[in-house]
């Protein structure tokens, strides 16, 4: 779901889920996160500067992975 070049907005991420017919809950389960964690990131309640929230934001494409994450992949 993530893009490597430009970060998406939460609205764009939600629209992509709608276009693909996939629920956020299903994506969360498939990627090992709870539904609540993903919604907190998407709705801006979690800042996603570090930790699990940051990992979710990167996986969704809300944040561009930093150089350290790119070299590890």
Contact at 8 Å (CB) between 8 and 58?
no
pLDDT of residue 53: 96
Length, in residues, of the chain: 73
pLDDT of residue 51: 94
Contact at 8 Å (CB) between 48 and 33?
no
| Longest CA–CA separation in the chain, Å | 33
Q: Tokens 């969704």 correspond to what residue? A: 60
pLDDT of residue 3: 45
Distance CA 61, CA 35 (A): 17
Q: Using 70 as the pLDDT threshold, list the residues of the chain that sit under it.
A: 1-4, 67-73
pLDDT of residue 40: 97
The pTM of the full predicted model, rounded to 2 decimals, is: 0.82
pLDDT of residue 73: 58
pLDDT of residue 65: 84
Contact at 8 Å (CB) between 54 and 40?
no
């Amino acid at each position: 779901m993530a893009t490597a070049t430009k970060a998406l907005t939460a609205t764009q991420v939600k629209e992509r889920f709608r276009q693909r017919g996939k629920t956020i809950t299903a994506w969360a389960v498939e990627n090992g996160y709870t539904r609540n964690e993903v919604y907190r990131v998407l709705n801006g309640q979690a800042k996603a500067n570090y930790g699990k929230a940051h990992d979710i934001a990167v996986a969704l494409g809300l944040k561009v992975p930093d150089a350290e994450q790119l070299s590890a992949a």
